[in-house]
Structure 1
Amino acid sequence: MKKVKVLFLTVVFLLTMALPAMAQSNSPVYKGSFQNVSFYGSEGTVDTSVDLSTNYEGKNSYILYYHTYNYETDEYYYGSAVVPASKAVFDINKGTAKVNQTVEVYKVDFTCDEEGDCTGDKTPAGTKSINLTWAFNPKSYSTSKYTERNVQIGLDEYIKLSKGTFKDYNNVSVSGTIDGKGTDSFEYSGGHVSSSSSMTIIK
C-alpha cells in the first residue's frame, strides 16, 4: 500500500512539473494524459524497481527508469532511457503494456553535508536489458480526482484551474526479465498500472 501511495504522489509531481511547459503553448487550455506502469521486486537485501511513464518533454515517447538498492551495502544503481512510443506498447482497452529496452546504468554514491544536503556522484556501471509485459483488467480500477486553483507557475503566469482523474488498475501481473532475471524468481514482487487525464487553464 505504501508503494502504491508513493507511485500516486509521483504521478502528481510529474504533472505539476509539466505545467510550466504547458504554459508555453499558444492556447490557454491544455488537455493531456499520463500513463504509468511499474514493477518492484525484492530479494534478500536488494530492492529492484522498473518504471515506464509518459514523457512530457518528448512527444510520442516514454521514459523508462531502473533502480536497485542494497540495504546491507548501501549501494544504489540508477538508469533511464527514452523509449519511442513505437517501441513501447500501452493498450488500456486490451489491458496490456510492454517494453523491451536496454538502459545505461550508473552507480550513485551520495555525499551529505552537516545540514543534510546531499549530492550524488555517478559512475558508469554497464547496461541492463529490460523486457517486461504487464497484464491487467481494463474494466477493474479505482478512481481518484484532484483539483488545483490559482497556482503560480511562472513570474506572471498562474494556473486558473487544473483538474484530473487518476485510474489505478486491479489484477496486475508482470512477466518477463530484468537483466536476464525472471520476474517470478524474486522473493517478493508486484506491479502497478495507472492512467490519468487532465485539463489545465492558464491565465
Structure 2
Amino acid sequence: MKKVKVLILTVVFLLTMALQAMAQSNSPVYKGSFQDASFYGSEGTVDTSVYLSTNFEGKDSYILYYQTYDYEKDENYYGSAVVPASQVVFDINKGTVKVNTTVEVYDFTCDEEGNCTGDETIPAGTKSINLTWVFSPKSYSTSKYSDKNVQIDFDQYIKLSKGTFKNYNNVSVSGTINGKSTDSFEYSGTNVSTGSSFTIIK
C-alpha cells in the first residue's frame, strides 16, 4: 500500500485542481480531452512519481508533477511545472511521449488521509526530468466512467460527468529522474492514457 501512496496522492490532487478550474470557468459545460503519462519507482524506503498531463487551465501546455516520499523518515517533497506543448512530444500515432524539463520542489507534510501542508515560498531545490515513454498505439484497453452530483466547491456541484479513457498496454519508459536512471529502481511502473470528458456544473 505504501508503494502506491505517492501516485494516488498525485492523481487525486490533479483531478481536484482540474475540477476547481472548471468550476471557476464562465461556462457550466466543459468538454475536453486529455493526455497523460506517468512513472512510478521505488528504491529502499523512498517512492518517486512523475506525472505528465494536459494542462486544464492553460492552452497548449502540459503540467508535470513530481513527488518523492520517504515513508521511513516521513519526508515528502512535491512540485509541479507548466511545460509548453512545443517542448513535449506526445505522439499517439507513433506511440511516443517525451519530456525534458526541471521542477522546483517543496517540502510537504501529509497525514494518513492525504491532507498535505507545506511552505510554497521556500523551495527545497530543483529536480531534472528527462523521460521517454514508448508503447503500441494499437494496443489499449478502454474504460468509461459516469458520476453525478459531486461537490467541488462550497456551493458548486458537478451535475453530470462522463468520460472515456484509453489505457495503452506494454508501456516502457527510459531516461533519468534527477540523474537516476529509470531502470535502476528496485520496483517501477508506468502508464500512458488518453481520454475525453463531458461535464455539467451547477
Q: Which residue of 2 aligns with 1:65?
A: 65
SS in 1 for 2:93: coil
* Seq. identity, %: 72
Query: How far off is 1:202 after superposition?
Result: 5.5
**By percentage of residues, which structure has more strand?**
1
Matching of residue 183 in structure 1 with residue 189 in structure 2: no
* Preserved contact between residue 33 and residue 195 of structure 1 (Cα < 8 Å): yes
Q: Which residue of 1 aligns with 2:92?
A: 92
Q: Which moved more, 1:118-127 or 1:74-83?
A: 118-127
Distance 1:200 1:79, change over 3 A: closer
Q: Where in structure 2 are there 5+ consecutive unaligned residues?
A: none
What is the CA–CA distance in structure 1 between the aligned matches of 2:152 and 2:110, rounded to whole Å?
31
Q: Which residue of 2 aligns with 1:16?
A: 19
* Preserved contact between residue 18 and residue 57 of structure 2 (Cα < 8 Å): no
Q: Which residue of 2 aligns with 1:36?
A: 36
Distance 1:164 1:127, change over 3 A: same
* Preserved contact between residue 169 and residue 193 of structure 1 (Cα < 8 Å): yes
Q: Which residue of 2 aligns with 1:82?
A: 82
Q: Structure 2-normalised TM-score? A: 0.81
What is the CA–CA distance in structure 1 between the aligned matches of 2:79 and 2:171, rounded to whole Å?
24
SS in 1 for 2:65: strand
What is the CA–CA distance in structure 1 between the aligned matches of 2:48 and 2:137, rounded to whole Å?
26
* Preserved contact between residue 19 and residue 153 of structure 1 (Cα < 8 Å): no
SS in 2 for 1:94: coil
1:168-189: CA deviations, max 9, x gaps?
1110101000111110111111
Distance 1:154 1:65, change over 3 A: closer
Residue-pair matches, total: 196
Which has the greater radius of gyration?
1
What is the CA–CA distance in structure 1 between the aligned matches of 2:73 and 2:34, rounded to whole Å?
35
Query: How far off is 1:78 after superposition?
Result: 1.1
What is the CA–CA distance in structure 1 between the aligned matches of 2:201 and 2:70, rounded to whole Å?
43
Residue identity matched to 1:182 = S
Query: How far off is 1:121 after superposition?
Result: 3.8
* Preserved contact between residue 20 and residue 153 of structure 2 (Cα < 8 Å): no
SS in 2 for 1:19: helix
What is the CA–CA distance in structure 2 between the aligned matches of 1:157 and 1:121, rounded to whole Å?
28
Distance 1:146 1:12, change over 3 A: farther
What is the CA–CA distance in structure 2 between the aligned matches of 1:34 and 1:91, rounded to whole Å?
13
SS in 2 for 1:137: coil
Q: Where in structure 1 are there 5+ consecutive unaligned residues?
A: none
Q: Structure 1-normalised TM-score? A: 0.81
Let me know the Cα RMSD of the aligned residues: 3.2
Residue identity matched to 2:32 = G
Q: Which residue of 1 aligns with 2:164?
A: 165
